[in-house]
Structure 1
């Protein structure tokens, strides 16, 4: 008997080493308690051995590496011009290299990695990545920079294989499923260009793998802690690349709660160990991602040390810490009657209280009052007493409750309000603010305003009684009506040059009535009483909080319709893609592999229906299956579909622009679930029949072949290679697949006659080329430039509107017009005081990049 047993054990071991006969599963263990059976939750050490690499399995991994390298790394030099959101992320890499501050809606880690790769490749920041289709010049290591996301795309494929193996799928099915990811058209496309999606997908895949490996470890062993820390690091990297990483953290958190529920039900685990599980998981899985996130922002702020176009979105205190800033310094603190000041609005960042020699076309038709974001002499106001008397040679400080008037220095008219409707806002609780008066006019009671200091926002005690420049936050209450000087994000139309509306309001958000004095000059203040004040140096936490407030605000403002946006309801059915690039009779269009895409959606729908019926049967008294194949399928597929749900459903409650690439993390979870469906289909459903198993495996291979055919047929839309117009037209099962077949020539031979130089677009091509170029940009809604009288400020709500967040948030660019051009086109020429001419270019029209 002994030789027979040894022979059987040897045969079993040999079968286990055969990649075609690996059994990675063990039967679940139940024990009987006094009242009920309970599941033993502690993994057996046997499972670690069963899910480790077997003989010849390394060849499968090598094959995956070679195939993924070929598909993702080939033809990276094509096209040799800027594609899609390379406009933004290549531009961000440039700004990191130049250390120029910018504003974006995404965390900085992935962008900094691109900057590092560019720097290693010799990029000096000279190429601007200004527009889609701009040809790269010599010295721009764009191929090297594209290799980074391509390699991460290859890494995601390997992580897919390893994840499936750790979750109980045999090597062959894991290999086939990973091949489906390799040839998934959308994943190939996003991994070939300088975009955030590939790093994000890699870090999410690493998080999933780390978690699945952790689930197989013996609790509190070295491997258990190692896998837990690895998962935490990967979660931190994902979260620090894009806020979508929060959904992955949520997935791990929900699974922790799910597993702790079973731990509580496991009578073999005492309460002390349950608490140890809770604290170890919570500390590591939340603490490590938070630390990585904070470190990434600390590095971000340290690198972007110079004034840049993103500074327009930040407070003056923030900008004051940037090199080359134009924020006023050495300001006289003491404010009194006779002070010439500039008033700055706080919570909209709209800029300074401003007036100019132009009038409202409606209402009182008096001189306009606006907010203007740039240094200008039209921002200056003289503080007068309400009775018109200033005592010569006597400094009278401005105090809480004092009634004053504000006289516009350049026009001589006073800040005024009355019972007229505002020019734009239609709310009954808002009244018009204007500048009113004429030469020799002493003013009237509607020019009177009462200063009310806001104690809770004014930190220094002496600034809560006496108004101090920079330090005192106050409101201005109109003496006659009781309304407060107010401004929101509302912009005036063309006749107001796109500047921000200012009104007097009796309601509305209180914060929008808060102001402070930025510059102050007073000839009556004795020199010995003068105190100099500057903006305080912000701490890391202050910068961190302010930047996140702006990121959230801009991201929430991406609400305008975008030509390439789509709805979450369309994503699982792959009803529409995104145009990335169009040039030289070629096109790059983000489109998923429909075969894999639809199979994934069908898998999810089928499992949900199956799960509902299983639960109903259980409630009717039928026991749940304890077969190891079914048990593992239920457990693992549930966790992956939960991940799909958590990465998909949140988009239904977002009001911002949404695009197809937002679905890719959810799709990855769906592909993992599809792998488990293949596993149960080829093993459990085939029963013990070798013939049925071969049939089921053949069906899976046929599915792979069909998916491969789809990839090959639509590959010209991935690589931007020549395609034939007739083939293109036959490839459209839906009209919503709106890549433009008119872009392509009638036969392949015609491409040999296409000049290497950029041809002038034909009439048929021009609309498509224009749409492609506009995909990642969102221009603010401003009046036509030739009719502007004054440079409009950046609209922080609308700027991010038309983005293609890379499609997330798309990214918004507001181009900086040259001062010389403005002076030719504008009737009123704003005076930019004390700013060298070369600096005026940036200060006239800030430029803000926002990506989705």
Structure 2
């Protein structure tokens, strides 16, 4: 390939962003000089006023498409249910469980709080109308602004990697109006912040490559990359793939630095250490810091804590975890028994029967504290015998467990398990017997203390609450009490199945005592409590639960899709539908399929070049072609690292999981357009620009044609049906009206309905109550003023969801009178 030795020089055009490859002659071989030319920064950084105007135009276009009609729909869209709800919980400090790291959710909470949100709306269901007290516009404005900046970052990244202004603008313009990216940046979703941080990391690292090693600008760029990586990983674990991408680029760069004979090895070593600190150390510190804030903010106990261990839950305010528990467990103790290895919780029974097998009483795991978790420990040979003293449980003690509230004993026999019936090694566990019944051999269990899992000391010799881990062996069936991540159907209240297993993983047969009382232990008997975990213990447990829950999200979903279908855009995701309008996530096939086609084409190009090289032909002779290959490989490596892991995931997946990989694919496609215009068609550049212009025009046309799916605006049934190029594009055309005139009529009728006097609506509802046509939740009388003064209850609505002012209700009811009952639904009273 052509090169300039002993100094080299920039290409013939000093404004060319792709310089000649600089090499020097060493004692034994030529080597590549890894220090970039001093002029490289100038040619790849926007400095001219004309280019700044180009950037301004790009930002205006991106802002226009992302901010248009941002307040519509004025109801909850798709996963705003989750992430808006989490923001509400952050504001109120209520603990919750989510499979994603906390940063992006905390940012939404911060934006909402600044805009005046007080967490009084729970985002319970898609389509729930936002009340005036919820600043959803500002919460949506945050991801929209990040989406606008991401468009700018794409342009700057392309310029930093050697793409000229016209092509960088064209590619970024296509990205600015790419339907899927516009859609995900308009709602309270994690995707826009995640892509912003990934794009920031990519830009910062490409900027870093332009500066001499160890220079102040290179250190600032490396620091920016490290911060961006930390924020990406702290938003979603997808950011780990970005860390891996930049890590491999560092290995690539260090490989050539080692071969650069003009650099001492010590300098290369210092650079390697610097990258470790900036690109791994800083992200780790940020990740830990955001989790610290997460734990420090969410301090109020809630049902969401049920996923965690009792020890973890003791750190939350208002928890009901037992404290000062009697340590010694014996015959006659009433205990609650907790499973160790799953999140199912406590050994539980209730007065409901199995619908399969023996049809005896259900035995399950239940995650909450409840009287139905209480069991009386009886000696096997002395059932129904009242104890007169304390006798401890030791390894090998034969016992029976009587359910306190129903008087049935824990029982197993030769029946198949109710759900895991295909597994011959699992037998049914049930509750059997009646009050006064002495039981039979199928009620017998032998205590087996696990020496390794139990705390050192007495807990390994006899059963002690919290500290002893044990198994319960059924001697007749030769199996152990067992549970796993399998739920009973609705008839079993979807609680976790308990069986008796003769095989299976041993840790799934381990139990321990949490609650414990005994009539003959003195008040000053030894007591134990959970040790409140520190930050790192909570961090480790949180990640265990996050990983466990994430990999078990395997329930089928109507809009899930498989990774192999994503490059072909075979289907999208329905986000919202109401009032004959829809929001549907769909990519722009002009860009989408171009990326897919280019990836296949690039593979053929590389294969052809390798064969040509083997046959002795010269390849990679032009600096533009070299830069095209280097940058394309960089970006396609990013594509592969963000896409390939999806094939290893067993959980439910959706089209939006492809978007991070797709971003890198667009960067690679831009380099294909660049080399096509500047090298392949350099004698006929006008044809190259015509192709690029046609691509931009096609992308913009598709965006404009399908914008009703982005903005949730009116569309006709006929236009919708014609737009469904593929059968998988399953947005519901039947929901649309036949003409735009029908929409005007429909909207007018809706407006008139909303303007009906509130007094009429209130009078009607009060009449309904008096006629008992509604089914009240209770028979208490409720005072209007008392309702309005109660915490969290802010408004009255009729059955159609229309708000009725309290003054109107008060007037209708007789100036402060009462009404027969209201139905309580979270923060709303429905008359």
TM interval, shorter chain, is 0.7 to 0.9
**Alpha-carbon spacing, 1:758–1:293, altered in 2? closer, same or farther (3 Å):** farther
Corresponding position: 1:658 with 2:653:
yes
**Residues 740, 446 of structure 1: alpha-carbon distance in 2 compared, 3 angstrom cutoff:** closer
Tell which deviates more after alignment, 210-219 or 738-747: 738-747
| Residue in structure 1 matching 2:429, options 433, 444, 447 | 433
State whether residues 677 and 685 of structure 2, in contact with CA within 8 Å, keep that contact through their aligned partners in structure 1. yes
The 1:331/1:740 distance shift into structure 2, 3 A limit, reads same
Residue of 746, 763, 780 corresponding to 2:738: 746
Cα deviation code 1:695-720 (max 9, x no counterpart): 32232122212211111111111111
- The counterpart of 1:725, out of the listed 702, 717, 723, is 717
SS in 1 for 2:350: strand
Say yes or no: does 1:414 pair with 2:417: no
The separation in 2 between residues aligned to 1:305 and 1:373, in whole angstroms, is: 20
Q: Provide the residue aligned with 1:532 in structure 2.
A: 527
The aligned runs of 1:806-821 (5 Å cut-off) are none
Q: Does 1:303 align with 2:297?
A: yes
Aligned-pair CA distance for 1:753:
1.4
Residue 561, structure 1, aligned to residue 556, structure 2 = yes
Matched with 2:641 is: 646
Distance 1:548 1:726 in 2: 49
In structure 2, how many angstroms separate the alpha carbons of the residues matched to 1:547 and 1:380? 28
Q: The residue matched to 1:83 in structure 2 has which SS?
A: coil
Aligned to 2:336: 342
TM-aligned CA deviation for residue 464 of structure 1 = 2.0
**How much has 1:97 moved relative to structure 2?**
0.9
Count of residue correspondences: 744
Whether the 8 Å contact between 2:331 and 2:387 is mirrored in structure 1 is no
Tell me which residue corresponds to 1:42. Answer: 35
Partner of 2:818: none
SS in 2 for 1:566: coil
Instruction: Name the structure 2 match of 1:451.
Output: 447
Cα separation, 1, equivalents of 2:642 and 2:680 = 30
Partner-residue secondary structure (3-state), 1:552? helix
Q: How high is the TM-score relative to the length of structure 2?
A: 0.85
* 1:577 and 2:572 are equivalent in the alignment: yes
Evaluate the alpha carbon distance shift between residue 742 and residue 274 of structure 1 in structure 2; reply closer, same or farther with a 3 A threshold.
same
Counterparts of residues 271-286 of structure 1 (less than 5 Å): 271-286=265-280
Q: Does 89-98 or 559-568 show the bigger shift?
A: 559-568
Alignment partner of 2:149 out of 149, 155, 180: 155
CA distance in structure 1 between the aligned counterparts of 2:457 and 2:244, rounded to whole angstroms: 44
Unpaired stretches in structure 1, ≥5 consecutive residues: 1-8, 17-21, 761-839, 843-852
Larger mean CA deviation between 122-131 and 488-497 belongs to 488-497
C-alpha distance 841-400 of structure 1, shift in aligned 2 (>3 A): farther
Change (3 A) 1:756 1:143: farther
1:250 aligns with 2:244: yes
Given the alignment, which residue of 359, 367, 370 partners 1:376? Answer: 370
Supply the distance in 2 between the matched residues of 1:213 and 1:379 (Cα, whole angstroms).
61
How well do the aligned residues superpose, as a CA RMSD in angstroms?
2.5
Residues 748 and 639 of structure 1, relative CA distance in 2, 3 Å threshold: same
Does the 8 Å contact 2:332/2:386 carry over to 1? Answer: no
In structure 1, what is the equivalent of residue 483 of structure 2?
Answer: 487
Q: Which moved more, 1:208-217 or 1:376-385?
A: 376-385
Separation in structure 2 between the aligned mates of residue 623 and residue 34 of structure 1, nearest angstrom: 25
Q: Is the 8 A contact 1:491 1:498 kept in 2?
A: yes
Provide the rounded CA distance (Å) in 2 between the counterparts of 1:25 and 1:595: 28
Task: Give the distance between the partners of 1:348 and 1:378, measured in 2 at CA.
Answer: 19
> For residues 699 and 448 of structure 1, do their structure 2 counterparts lie closer, same or farther at Cα, with a shift above 3 Å needed?
closer
Query: Which residue is 2:48 aligned to?
Result: 55
Q: Distance in 2 between matches of 1:580 and 1:637?
A: 34
1:85 aligns to 2:79 (yes or no) = yes
Counting only pairs closer than 5 Å after superposition, residues 93-492 of structure 1 correspond to structure 2 as 93-388=87-382, 393-426=388-421, 427-492=423-488
1:576–1:444 Cα change, 3 Å = closer
Once residues 712 and 362 of structure 1 are traced to their aligned partners in structure 2, the CA distance between those partners, rounded to angstroms, is 57
Specify the SS of the correspondent of 1:520: strand
Structure-to-structure mapping, 1:624-635, within 5 angstroms: 624-635=619-630
Cα distance in structure 2, aligned partners of 1:444 and 1:47: 86
The CA distance in 1 between the partners of 2:216 and 2:739, in whole Å, is 62
Q: Does 1:502 align with 2:498?
A: yes
Contact 1:28 1:626 in 2 (8 A): no
Tell me the SS of whatever aligns to 1:338: coil
Aligned residue number for residue 16 of structure 2:
23
Using the alignment, how far apart are the partners of 2:271 and 2:540 within structure 1? 32
From the superposition, tell whether residues 34 and 519 of structure 1 become closer, same or farther in structure 2 (CA, over 3 Å).
same
Deviation at 1:328, TM superposition (A): 2.1
Secondary structure of the 2:680 match is: coil
CA deviations over 1:170-204 (Å, ceiling 9, x no partner):
12221111111111111111111111111011000
In 2, the alpha carbon distance for the partners of 1:703 and 1:325 equals: 59
Deviation at 1:110, TM superposition (A): 0.3
- Shift in Å at residue 513 of structure 1? 0.7
2:305 & 2:284 partners in 1: Cα distance? Answer: 26
Partner residue in 1 for 2:817: none
Structure with larger RCO (C-alpha < 8 A, sep 6+): 1
1:513 lines up with 2:505 in the alignment: no
Partner Cα distance (2:439, 2:328) in 1: 26
- Once the 2 structures are TM-superposed, how far is the Cα of residue 495 of structure 1 from its aligned partner? 4.3
Structure-2 separation of matches of 1:270 and 1:415:
74
Residue matched to 1:586: 581
Call closer, same or farther: CA 1:435–1:728 in 2, change over 3 Å.
closer
What's 2:821 paired with?
none
Structure 2 equivalent of residue 19 of structure 1: none
Distance, in Å, in 2 between the alignment partners of 1:554 and 1:68 is 37
Q: Secondary structure at the match of 2:688?
A: helix
Deviations 1:195-243 (A, max 9, x none): 1111011000001001101111211222222211211110111111111
Question: 1:552 aligned to 2:547?
Answer: yes
Q: Which residue of 2 aligns with 1:789?
A: none
Distance 2:158 2:390 in 1: 78
Contact 2:332-2:387 within 8 A present in 1 as well: no
Q: Structure 2: which 5+ runs fail to align?
A: 1-8, 753-823, 827-831
Pair 1:542 & 2:534 matched: no
**Cα distance in 1 between the residues matched to 2:357 and 2:729:** 50
| 8 Å CA contact 1:584, 1:758 repeated in 2 | no
Distance 1:209 1:183 in 2: 20
Would the alpha carbon gap of residues 458 and 55 (structure 1) be closer, same or farther in structure 2, given more than 3 Å must change? Answer: same
Residue by residue over 1:531-554, the C-alpha shift from the partner in whole angstroms, topping out at 9 and shown as x without a partner, is 222221111112111111211122
Distance 1:339 1:74, change over 3 A: same
Residue of structure 2 aligned with 1:678, choices 673, 682, 693:
673
SS in 2 for 1:368: strand
CA positional deviation for 1:494: 4.5
Change (3 A) 1:756 1:306: farther
Q: CA deviation at 1:758?
A: 6.0
- Give secondary structure in 1 for the equivalent of 2:39: helix
Does the aligned pair in 2 maintain the 1:584–1:759 contact within 8 Å?
no
What SS does the aligned partner of 2:679 have? Answer: coil
